[in-house]
Amino acid sequence: MGSNLAEADGHLGERILQYYEARAKGGAGLLIVGVGAISFPAGACNPNQVAISDDGFLPGLTQLAQRVHAHGARIAIQLQHAGKVAVRDMVAGRPLWVPSAPEFKRSDLVNDLTPDEMERFVGDLKRPGAGMSFHEMSVADIADLVAAFAAAADRAKRAGFDGVELHAGHGYILSSFLSPASNRREDAYGGSHENRARFLVEAIRAAKDAVGADFPVWCRIDAKEFETPGGITVEDARRTAALAQAAGADAIHVSAYADPNIGSAFTKAPLVHQPGGYVDFARAIKAGVDVPVIAVGRIEPVVADRLIAEGGTDFVAMARKLLADPDLPQKLADGRPDDVRPCIYCYTCVGNIFLNASTCCAVNPATGREYEIRVEPAATPKHVLIAGGGPAGLEAARVAALRGHRVTLCEKAANLGGTLRVASLVAEDNAALAVWLERQVRSLPIELRLRCEVTPESIAEMAVDVLVVATGARRIAPAIPGVERAEVWSGDALRSLLAGGDASIASRLALPARLALRVGKALGILDRPDLARSFSRWWLPFGRQVVVVGAGLVGTEIAEFLSERGRTVTLVGSEPTLAAQMAPPRRWRVLRHLRESGVDLWTGARVESIDAEGVHFRDAHGVGHAVPADDVVLAEGAVGDAGLAERCAGVVPEIHTIGDCGGVGYIRGAIEDGARVARAL
């Protein structure tokens, strides 16, 4: 998995060394360093990519191998030339090396980007001399790259690595030869499957010759090219795997790819969103080879155990999960699966790569910053009061307690989780994070006070040293005629309803919905974010036609949530870009889903009134529209609320505000804020 954590010149600095070292400490058996450029800077795709093209890179590579070995792990490196997706070649004005000149295809990648993202996405491509052109590789060019793969393999061995993986997937040079959609050559490297695989076969043989029979060399291949007419099929991949084994490959790593011109396709492959999306591919490949098979693609640990036990694969690779929690392997080995911090599949990590930044993680602020972020014992333990049990408050409490502070956490509601509970309903992957945070806090020596609202008077009685305000945002009802109507749900009302509801909110519902809500509450279902989402499929108290006002992350998620439950949804927002707070790959997927589901999406619009006929608004061109609505959801108007901190000034010597009360930052901002302040106490 490319991290963009190397230095700009391809060398390995402290940040990438500690990034991999943390995962070695965490118990991984084998680390595979992502996309090592064999012809750097030529053929590189990312601005901070690892290079292995020259002996000048050996010192850093050697140090990395030594650090990983010191923790009992093994280490390999992917050998890669990016070919048609070598963005650094475009930046430098070098032609992209390809098997055949590609046919022009219009891309939709920039259609749903914000202006800032567009600037970062295009980035260096606006430099003088940058541009896109193509070079159809000659036989001599192929021979040169075969030699470069072999030399890089030898270099990895001399650096102390334990193996190399030739990356023959994801649109890179080897995969573009393998794919009948991109390889239209008529020489010995095109046409038949054996010819298209010849480049890979020669590279494997050359690498094995360079490093010897006892040094592992394997390849990563695509089992399928999604949304690519004439692309790689599973049967193609089975034949490729057999040819790779015959050439000397010691294992086959099974991934997948999709048309890179289609933004939403990235979450089909290679950033699979479907749990276990490539498991059947791995089974199919394994049935045809005698060497080990590596499966990848959002595989949960319990599924991984079953796969290996059933013989469906030999090894399981994890990427995003080890960004969220590098200690996952050790926690599983210790019998502590509930302690594993979950990945919420928000694509923040890889979204940064698209924007030419380094990888990071929404739920683990230390990812990519291990060299500067540590949780260490406090020099002077203090009594820390945290007001608010949402994600920011829970993370602050967790980290502060780990550092040895005496922590009291007060939450005015009956449950922990705050807005994360609602977020877990509309985006189900968030539920695991809500459960994990609460479990961690309850397992630590933290005093929990539920149904307890913090006031200046209560703080004075508790004699605390530090107040951390994590009470969240306040939601201002927009000045729209009709917002007081019963069918209009404010953010606070919807949150109260979906999180369990109070009597005044529930009274607005029809009798069947009120009864269902009471049953769910009585059975404790609404107290479990992981169960409440499924429960909402049949009790959700909204009419058939719903208008969502607000085109940000919250409004977009709610629109998807309602559409999945059979509602006819119209989303109206003043924002110029839909879901601007989502990472691009996730946004591409969600917006495609909404459009294909028939959700009407309006940006740059202004709502003028709400009445019995529905919602009246003007679009970005000033044209008036009226949309019928049984219910209206207000998904905008949240602003930071530091009121408690202001009221407590002078009551407690040290006050901090975190999370949405200091400005809406969503899950990533809440976790980052909570951890940052707790580390500084």
Q: Which residues are known catalytic residues?
A: 172
Structure tokens, 521 = 């509450």
Using an 8 Å Cβ cutoff, are 421 and 415 in contact?
Answer: yes
573 within 8 A of 605, measured Cβ to Cβ: yes
CA distance 578 to 581: 9
How far is Cα of residue 162 from the mean position of the Cα atoms in its chain?
29
CA distances from 538 to 324, 513, 532, 554, 565 (A): 33, 9, 11, 22, 8
Q: What is the dihedral of CA 582, 588, 591, 594, to 10 degrees?
A: -120
Q: CA-to-CA distance for 111 and 100, rounded, in angstroms?
A: 28
641-657 CB burial, b ≥16 within 10 A, e <16: beebbeebeeebeebbb
Distance CA 229, CA 336 (A): 45
Phi, psi dihedrals of residue 112, rounded to the nearest 5°: -115, 25
Rounded alpha-carbon distances, angstroms, from residue 511 to 430, 517, 518, 562: 30, 10, 11, 20
Q: Which of 119, 123, 113 is CA-nearest to residue 87? A: 123
Residues ≥6 apart with Cβ < 8 Å to 609: 480, 481, 482, 615, 616
And the tokens for 388?
């608010």
Rounded to 10 degrees, the C-alpha dihedral 377/378/381/382 comes to -130
- Measure the CA–CA gap between 285 and 189, rounded to whole angstroms: 23
Residue 515 has a CB neighbour count (10 Å cut-off) of: 12
Q: How far apart are CA 595 and CA 584, in angstroms?
A: 16
DSSP structure class, residue 83: G
For residue 560, give both structure tokens.
């998807």
3-state class percentages of the chain: helix first, strand second, coil last, to nearest 5? 40, 15, 40
Q: Which residues pair with 222 in a beta bridge?
A: 255
CB 562 within 8 A of CB 585: no
Strand partners, 621: none
Sign of CA dihedral 287, 289, 292, 293: negative
Residue owning tokens 């360079």: 210
DSSP letter for each residue of 410-451? EESSSSS-THHHHHHHHSTTHHHHHHHHHHHHHHSSEEEEET
At 296 the three-state DSSP class reads coil
How far apart are the C-alpha atoms of 4 and 323, rounded to whole Å? 14
**CA dist., res. 677 & res. 490, Å (int):** 31
What is the per-residue burial (b if ≥16 Cβ within 10 Å, else e) of 69-82?
eebebbbbbbbbbb
Rounded Cα distance between 82 and 87, Å, is 8
